Amino acid sequence: MSEKRKIIPKKTKRLKSRPRRWPLLKLAVPVVLLIFVALGLYVTYLDKVIRQKFDGKRWALPAVVYSRPLELYPDLPFTASMLADELQLAGYRRDKAAKDPGGYDLAGNVMHLVTRDFSFADGLEKSARLTVEFSGSVVRKISATETGAEISLARLDPVRIGSFHPLENEDRIVYSREELPDLLVKTLLAVEDQHFYTHFGVDPLGILRAMLANVRAGKTVQGGSTLTQQLVKNFFLNNERTLQRKFNEVIMAQLLEVHYSKDEILTAYVNEIFLGQDRGRAVHGFGLASQFYFRREMKDLSVAQMAMMVGMIKGPSYYDPRRHVERCLLRRQVVLDLMLSEGVISAETHALAKEAKLEMTGAVQSAFNRYPAFLDLVRRQLGEEYHEEDLTSNGLKILTTLDPQVQMRVERHLGETLSSLEKRTGSSGLEGAVVVSSREGGEILAVAGGRNALQPGFNRALDAQRPIGSLIKPVVYLTALANGYSLASPVQDVSLTVTAAGSKAWRPANYDKKEHGLVPFHEALANSYNLATIRIGMDVGVEKVVDNLKRMGINREFQPYPSFLLGTAAMSPLEVAQIYQLFATGGFYQPQRVIGSVLTLENKVVQRFGLTVEQRFPPETIFLLNTALQRVVAHGTGRSLLTYIPATVQAAGKTGTTDELRDSWFAGFTGDRLAIVWIGRDDNKPTVLTGSSGAMVVWGKIMQSLHPQPLELLEPEGIQWARVDAGIYGRSHAPSRDNALLPFAAGTLPAGAAPASPSSSPAGVETWEKKVPEVLNSIRGWFQ
């Protein structure tokens, strides 16, 4: 009985503890429910994130900028080395025998190349196999490689010179599922996710296998993430190694599989995966990576090349073939072994691919974002027509006017000449800027914003506002020619004092500190006499000169002070180019342009940038001025230019120098090109260079390398030629004054002048009647 009494209290104790557990259970149920609700809400949020980004525009595709297309034809002044240089810039590769698009081979004076498909504004230019034969420095013959049929004109796909990225600086070439090579798909699945088409976003067996392999190896040798998980990590998340990120990755991978097909996920992965860094841009996707590493389309990659790129997924920097050759090669061999074991390739193909050398293209620099000054100008002109988002996310194709051949020469001669000038003068810190355009069309062919062409930053060609010095004088003399002066008008080059209310008296002087007395109008311009220019400008009115400058396209306010006549107004080299473009085109105003057309990602034309042409000055007046500018080079301050180009080119131009030799300028044009060169210092200290000893040297070397065409001025109807007795100006030692043959507008022939027959017109002049049909046809062509 006593033992039973002992049992009773134990039983009583157990009954008393039971009521205490019910409150804990009641508390746990709502907590668990709350966790499930929160988890459900969080999953719903992740689902919304996925669908918003994946259903919309998946990538911000930058606008891609191209140069002008290279057009080859017989007798074109173009060498084999020039063509090879441009093909390298365009991302072509040199093969032993050109077979695939984007390849070329060169043996002696014969080049074989296979162009790439490219959609221009006027339609698709399909890939072609071409043979180009050279004779000396010209193209002798172009023919179809397969048939031998001669071709009169071949248009090559242009150089990709840059793109406008969003803040992320990502770039990619987007492919559809149908465009993915079968070799790439099979290799990806064999290496990265063998159960891709059977799992639901996460592969538990794959994770287990990876864990066992890592334990056996004592280090991480295999990953367990599926392609879907990798896409989630790259597309939605980041590379943080946290439990929260891994949790998000697992959930989002399964959500992605719920909403989208396997092919959609695979295609997005191929376009998204990070595969390297090209200076300032991240290389995403196999499409761009194949161009970046091999200069080939994906469909043209060899087995070894495909294996190398798939192997780089594991670590693009670690396996970079240009920095870590052995690592990359070993990784490629591992991938090739997997391709063999999974039946992607045969044993024979495997053996050949393993013997292949690792292809290296790092020594060749493409033109991508290589011309920051030109791209800056392109972006500014596009900014007048398009929103920033259009340029950085809609994948526009921008076809520009840049000529890589001209740009390369501009960069080389500007840098080399500035270094040479610094050595010669013992100075340092010289900077420069160059703008080159076509003479007739106004297309800007090259821009250099500084001596270091690859360095972005301050663009002196567009933003350096510097006094232009004597470059303003042709505007002064043009105004005078339109107001009663002729090239033979006598002008006093003697000292004067200019006074104005509220300011000190100003006594200008010539550069040589001398007075030259009574001189011919054309000689005052050729020798850049300041005193004569001041007298001419004040006689016709400074306000008229300022107004004419505005008519030339410089839409800014300038105070009509007398000092304006000597170039105290500050302008950029680009603005000066616009002024001289009007001279070069015979008085036609046409805004200089850098863009030819804009196409959408689907190659539909959005806009063509045609020419706006308006004759703002009479052709007779411009003809007289241009004849005087030719005399600047033949007899005046520009005569040392004939060291670089022959006199038969009949170039027209003007030197410019500012106070204390702070700025050195030269502006001029030949039969085919116009160029403006400025040299100075960013701190505005003296350069010890005049226009002829500094900027003109750069100009001359650039033009010398471009083999300029002769300048043939169009002679308007009514022009009369005559010789003026030099004795009317007084005594002079200037040989250019004796027996000078000068043109005159109708009714302006001076008394005592001896008319000359048309046959005695100087070289470089053609009659208006002979050339005007050609000009009209050219202008019509601009609008077609």
The catalytic position among 67, 470, 692, 736 is 470
Predicted confidence (pLDDT) at residue 366 exceeds the cutoff of 60: no
Rg, the chain, Cα only: 36
pLDDT tens column, 608-656? 887 778 999 999 999 999 999 999 999 999 999 999 999 999 999 999 9
3-class secondary structure, 60: coil
pLDDT tens column, 74-131? 999 999 999 999 999 998 989 899 998 999 999 999 999 999 999 999 999 999 999 9
Highest mean pLDDT among 4-18, 27-41, 69-83, 246-260: 69-83
Token digits of residue 179: 């465009």
pLDDT tens column, 48-85? 767 776 766 566 677 889 999 999 999 999 999 999 99
Quote the CA–CA distance of 680 and 686 in Å, as a whole number.
8
**What sign for the dihedral angle of Cα 712, 713, 717, 719?**
negative
Q: What is the pLDDT of residue 769?
A: 40
Determine which of 2-16, 567-581, 586-600, 625-639 has the lowest per-residue pLDDT on average: 2-16
Determine which of 11-25, 157-171, 281-295, 370-384 has the lowest per-residue pLDDT on average: 11-25
* Closest residue by Cα to residue 404 from 87, 21, 694: 87
Average pLDDT, the chain: 86
pLDDT tens column, 739-769? 789 999 988 888 878 888 655 444 444 444 4
* Closest residue by Cα to residue 409 from 368, 461, 447, 465: 447
| Locus of tokens 């891994």 | 246
Q: Is the Cβ–Cβ distance between 584 and 443 less than 8 Å?
A: no
CB atoms within 10 A of CB 212: 11
Determine which of 326-335, 419-428, 507-516, 748-757 has the lowest per-residue pLDDT on average: 748-757
Q: What is the pLDDT of residue 49?
A: 67
Q: For residue 245, how many C-alpha atoms fall within 13 Å in the half-sphere facing its CB? A: 12
Determine which of 110-119, 656-665, 671-680, 729-738 has the lowest per-residue pLDDT on average: 729-738
Cα first-last separation, the chain: 121
Q: Is the Cβ–Cβ distance between 363 and 325 less than 8 Å?
A: no
Determine which of 37-46, 188-197, 385-394 has the lowest per-residue pLDDT on average: 37-46
Q: Is the Cβ–Cβ distance between 664 and 656 less than 8 Å?
A: yes
Residue 192 annotated among the catalytic residues of the structure = yes
The catalytic position among 86, 192, 249, 297 is 192
pLDDT tens column, 259-301? 888 898 899 899 889 998 877 678 889 998 998 888 888 888 8
Residue 470 annotated among the catalytic residues of the structure = yes
Which residues are bridge partners to 490 per DSSP? 520
Name the amino acid, one letter, at 7: I
The runs of H, that is alpha helices, within 73-226 are: 80-89, 182-192, 204-217
Query: In the structure, what pLDDT confidence band is assigned to residue 569 with cuts at 50, 70 and 90?
Result: very high
Q: What is the largest CA-CA distance in the chain?
A: 161
CB atoms within 10 A of CB 177: 14
pLDDT tens column, 192-249? 888 888 888 787 776 676 667 656 655 554 556 888 888 888 777 766 666 766 777 7
Q: Is the pTM of this model over 0.75?
A: yes
Q: What is the pLDDT of residue 1?
A: 41
